[in-house]
Amino acid sequence: MVKRSYKLLAKRLWWDLKDSTIRKSYKYYLIARIPGFFGIMIREDFWCNKLKRCGKNLIIKEGVTIYDVEQISIGDSVSIGINCVLEGKGKITIGSNVLIGPQTTIFSTNHIFEDNDRPIKTQGLTLKEVIIGNDVWIGSKAFIMPGANIEDSCVISAGSVVGGRRYIKGSILAGNPARVIGHRN
């Protein structure tokens, strides 16, 4: 077993906290992990000040990771489940009364990979806005692709991989790739 002295660990922490990027990571990590209603209230205050638009009664459960928050707009009474990931570089717009189930991931960028002679990581990104309408329910572990436009009242079943296209109002989607398996009413 590795045995490090407290002095060495304290020094390491001190060096970490001197770096503003690492300091930010510590802050985001700790805020994401505060349990209970207290945690929900702290996260609402924290993220609402950073979002492009933030409605009333935002619930962000534990372990949620948010990137490029200033490009994300959220309506009223939205709940984001445990361990969700939202990446907003290409913009994410979420309506009101939306329920996002645990461990769902929403991405708004793709890596460009057209040039075979250059590593993908050097080719940049394409940005594609994700739009989620009002009264949408997204089940647990869904993956929402860049460019998805999920209109009002849709239901996304658990584990669906939702492609970057438009899904008309009231659609019920399931599977990978997600297909329309029905309509509400």
Ligand X SMILES: CC(C)(COP(=O)(O)OP(=O)(O)OC[C@H]1O[C@@H](n2cnc3c(N)ncnc32)[C@H](O)[C@@H]1OP(=O)(O)O)[C@@H](O)C(=O)NCCC(=O)NCCS
Catalytic residue of the set 12, 111, 166, 183:
111
Annotation says 111 is catalytic: yes
Q: Per CB under 6 A, does 181 bind ligand X?
A: yes
Residues 38-67 that bind ligand X (CB under 6 A): none
**Smallest gap, in angstroms, from Cβ of residue 56 to ligand X?**
20
166-172 CB contacts, 8 Å cutoff, 24+ apart: 169/133
What are the tokens at 119? 């590593």
Q: Which is nearer to ligand X, 73 or 140 (CB)?
A: 140
Strand locations in the chain (E): 53-54, 59-60, 65-67, 72-74, 79-80, 85-87, 92-94, 99-100, 105-107, 109-111, 125-127, 130-132, 137-138, 143-144, 149-150, 155-156, 161-162, 166-167, 171-174, 179-183
Residues 82-141 that bind ligand X (CB under 6 A): 99, 101, 139-140
Q: Which is nearer to ligand X, 98 or 130 (CB)?
A: 98
Question: Could you give the CA distance from residue 167 to residue 177 in angstroms, rounded to a whole number?
Answer: 13
Query: Of residues 25, 30, 165, 175, which one binds ligand X by CB under 6 A?
Result: 175
Q: Which is nearer to ligand X, 99 or 131 (CB)?
A: 99
What are the tokens at 3? 């045995």
Per-residue x/- mask for ligand X, residues 145 to 174, rule CB under 6 A?
Answer: ----------x-xxxx-----------x-x
Between the alpha carbon of residue 61 and those of residues 27, 35, 80, 113, the distances in Å are 16, 8, 6, 35
**Smallest gap, in angstroms, from Cβ of residue 169 to ligand X?**
16
Q: Which residues are catalytic?
A: 111
Instruction: Enumerate binding residues for ligand X (CB under 6 A).
Output: 81, 99, 101, 139-140, 155, 157-160, 172, 174-175, 181
